[in-house]
Amino acid sequence: MPVIYFDYAATTPVCPQAVDAVVDALAHFGNPSSRYPLGREAAQRVKSHRETVARALGCTPQEVYFTSCGTEGNNWAIRRGVELNRRRGRHIITTAIEHAAVLETCHDLERQGYEVTYLKPDRQGRIDPQDLSAALRPDTALVSMMLVNNEVGSVLPVAQCVKLVKACDKSILFHCDAVQGFLKVPYSMASLGADFVSVSGHKIGAPKGIGALMVKKGVRLTPFFTGGGQENGMRSGTEATAQIAGFAAAVEATMAQAHRLQRTAAIKEYTLQRLREAIPQLEIITAGDAPHICAVTLPGYKSEVVVRVLGDAGVCISSGSACHKGKPSHVFAALGLPKPWLDGALRLSFSPASTREEAEALVSALKQAADTLFTTLS
């Protein structure tokens, strides 16, 4: 059965260029720390891949540290960031709609005596910079704000908030989880101005198990992993040379795709229009600011059941972030949706390769589910 995939925010297929790069790097198996030619060649390759990632983020290669995933980058920046700013105080500001990699890290820090303010979104999942202004305190050590929300596709005003925070006090550190924004909305390290930016490879066609944390020049973040001193002493552990090669190849392949953001936005718009026409029960929670994510609901239906029924028909969508299976989504809850809307909330996410034929298959599978499944509203 062919799979109709509308869950690109959960993960993406590994692109052919990344597959080739991984296979090639596996054959060149040297350890970048080894001093003989096989090792030096591996080190040279990692250097060139770091330059590729730096170009995509508009920063210097020295600011790029490869990690195992977005979760690691978020943990590293937040945990070591608050330590770095210990003298300022123990107050953190974040939003109620961050990914679990940020929220659970903040909860853990609360258990260690930190105080965390969670900014609330509006109905579209947007955050008001004024709320951040109002939350700043003399003891605020760090702000963590995502660039694109993974469940509703809202774009958060990170650049504006960085300016506001730095105008209040330059020493307050700013971390941005840009995992869903990387190569999906235009930004650079310079345009965001954040001290730390985390990204992840598997959202852009790279294999799983690779990400990067950008640390702004001059910010003295300490290592999260200690050991052999790789990554300029900042992230010990033998470099994942094959994943790094796959990451750089995926970055290059993505950047080479003409009009990818417009194509993604257009197929999302088409799908939403067709869903509206075909399924009277369906409501749009938000069309999303980012081109690849939107959220809809079948009020009164159980989204987990809808997702399972569609999955059995070969159509992959999500009832929220794939990272907190089974639990109601904290993001949809934070939007203040009525309970029937919450119950039936679904995330659809797209790629430039998504087609109208796939959209039609999604629409007919969802229509069939809506017409046949039990709803508490009927």
The answer to whether residue 59 is catalytic is no
Whose Cβ is closer to ligand PLP: residue 247's or residue 301's? 247
Which positions from 212 to 241 touch ligand PLP by CB under 6 A, shown as an x/- string?
Answer: ------------------------------
Q: How far is CA 58 from the centre of its chain?
A: 18
Based on CB atoms, which residue is closest to ligand PLP, 50 or 99? 99
Q: How far is the CB of 69 from ligand PLP (least distance, A)?
A: 3
Q: Per DSSP, what are the bridge partners of residue 284? A: 296
| 8 A C-beta contact, residue 201 and residue 247 | yes
* Residues 55, 290 contacting (CB under 8 angstroms): no
* Residue 265 CA to its chain's centroid (Å): 18
Whether 240 and 22 have beta carbons less than 8 Å apart is answered as no
Q: In 3D, which of 180, 187, 132, 225 has the Cα closest to residue 351?
A: 180
Choices 65-73, 85-93, 159-167, 341-349; region in contact with ligand PLP by CB under 6 A:
65-73
Are residues 19 and 367 in contact, defined by beta-carbon separation less than 8 angstroms? no
Strand boundaries in the chain, DSSP class E: 4-5, 64-67, 91-95, 115-119, 140-144, 173-177, 196-200, 211-215, 283-286, 293-297, 315-316, 345-349
Nearer to ligand PLP, 180 or 241 (CB): 180
Q: Which of residues 271-310 bind ligand PLP (CB under 6 A)?
A: none
Q: Which of 49, 91, 99, 268 binds ligand PLP (CB under 6 A)?
A: 99
Q: CA-to-CA distance for 91 and 138, rounded, in angstroms?
A: 9
Which is closer to ligand PLP, CB of 182 or CB of 301? 182
Q: Which of 101, 119, 165, 337 touches ligand PLP by CB under 6 A?
A: 101
From the candidates 15, 168, 294, 323, which is the catalytic residue?
A: 323
Task: Out of 323, 325, 327, 377, name the contact with ligand PLP by CB under 6 A.
Answer: 323
Stretch that binds ligand PLP, among 63-71, 153-161, 348-356, 370-378 (CB under 6 A): 63-71
CB of 297 to ligand PLP, least distance (A): 20
With contact defined as beta carbons under 8 Å apart, do 195 and 142 qualify? no
177 makes contact with ligand PLP (CB under 6 A): yes
Find the DSSP H helices in 116-212: 129-135, 158-168, 189-192
Residue numbers 181-200 binding ligand PLP by CB under 6 A: 200
Secondary structure of residue 286 in the 3-state scheme: strand
**From residue 357, how far is each of 34, 267, 271, 374 by CA, in Å?**
51, 10, 10, 27
Contact call for residue 75 and ligand PLP (CB under 6 A) = no
Give the range of 31-39, 66-74, 225-233, 354-362 binding ligand PLP by CB under 6 A: 66-74
| Selected binder of ligand PLP within 45, 49, 50, 70 (CB under 6 A) | 70
- Does residue 26 touch ligand PLP according to CB under 6 A? no
Instruction: Give the footprint of ligand PLP on this chain (CB under 6 A).
Output: 69-71, 99, 101, 146, 150, 177, 179-180, 200, 202, 211, 323
Which amino acids are annotated catalytic? 323
